[in-house]
Structure 1
């Protein structure tokens, strides 16, 4: 007589939204970080040996020149990139093993400064300067993105978010046959 072996119950995934100005890291296999990006950039870092990962979400790359350094603003990439790396190191990751994914950096408003481009360039330069390997990027364009990241395994899913603000495109139609009428003015 065969006996059915019950599978161990799996823990539900704890989905955490990473908001602008945040940098979070964990080694918990049941945690998933999620964020939605326009011109902002999210960095997903992962140490495959320590099985620790993290995500940040920054609004702007650096403060404008001449602002001074009196206070730390958590919305800037210059702060959040360092915070993410240091938080991961505190959880057992090693900088030499870090792998990176970059997402966002879209220029969603065509009439404004190219903030997304500046954010993407800053993030790439930071990783290069710090010797962190960039595994994948989905940066630029004009569409927002939704990113879901499993930090303990390094799995990432990035999807384009539908642009509901864009007017619908209607192709111009031609008449089936010419009517022969021409109006000169």
Structure 2
């Protein structure tokens, strides 16, 4: 099922700030508030300009291929090659300077046995690190790979990102989503919670 085109706005009672929750294929940039998401094999990049304090986050499912302009990822934020470009553009539109952008990246976990063959999480992780290197965007922090889902909370006002590693529960939405996604890829052939760990 496609993600809604508009991320969900809500009030985060834990952090007492207005927030926006993004799903796979979504992105959001802002001058204040928070942006949150839950990741499995997907990857999210948080971009931030420390001078203007403009920031944004995306959530993509596969890298995509920049060489194929006619492919589905040419205009879909489900693919990293597009999700990164539109996120950069959204932060610039709100006043960020590309030369000052810094990044923090998260996700790329292996939640299901079937993903061993498709290598989705590691592919996403390798893609985002290489993209940032090529684009000259400084990487401040990363929490990639492993075998657990993550909840990511990005405070745009401060640039601080907090990550909560979640227990792998078979019926959790993120696990169901991963399973449905894996089945879709095959068809096309192509607990407990740890405390928040602040990232610098």
Does TM, normalized by the shorter one, top 0.5? yes
TM-score range, shorter chain: 0.7 to 0.9
Bigger radius of gyration, 1 or 2?
1
Describe how 1:36-55 pairs up with structure 2 within 5 A. 36-55=38-57
Higher helix share: 2
TM-score by length of 2: 0.72
Match of 1:22 among 11, 23, 26: 26
Q: SS at 1:134's partner residue?
A: strand
Q: Distance in 1 between matches of 2:169 and 2:99?
A: 42
Moved over 4 A (4+): 63-67
- Structure 2 vs 1, CA of residues 109 and 13 (structure 1 numbering), >3 Å: closer, same or farther? same
Root mean square deviation of aligned Cα = 2.2
Q: Which structure 1 residue ranges, 5 or more long, are not aligned? A: 1-11, 169-185
Residue in 2 aligned with 1:183? none
Q: Is the alpha carbon distance of 1:90 and 1:75 closer, same or farther for their aligned partners in structure 2, counting shifts above 3 Å?
A: same
Residue 58 of structure 1 aligns to a residue whose secondary structure is coil
* In the alignment, structure 1 residue 108 sits paired with structure 2 residue 101: no
Counterpart position of 2:70: 68
Higher relative contact order (CA 8 A, sep 6+): 1
Query: Contact 1:18 / 1:56 at 8 angstroms: preserved in 2?
Result: yes
* CA shift for structure 1 position 67: 8.9
Partners in 1 of 2:99 and 2:150 — Cα distance?
A: 29
Q: CA deviation at 1:94?
A: 0.7
State the Cα distance separating 1:65 from its structure 2 match: 8.6
Alpha-carbon contact 1:102-1:139 (below 8 Å) kept: yes
Conserved 8 A contact 1:35-1:148: yes
What is residue 168 of structure 2 aligned with on the other side?
163
2:87 is aligned with 1:84: yes
What does the per-residue CA deviation read over 1:4-33, in whole Å, with 9 as the maximum and x for residues that have no partner? Answer: xxxxxxxx51121011111111112xx111
- 1:46, 1:152 within 8 Å by CA — same for their partners in 2? no
C-alpha distance in 1 between matches for 2:132 and 2:19: 26
Alignment pair present for 1:144 and 2:144: no
Match of 1:9 in 2: none
TM-score where L is the length of structure 1: 0.77
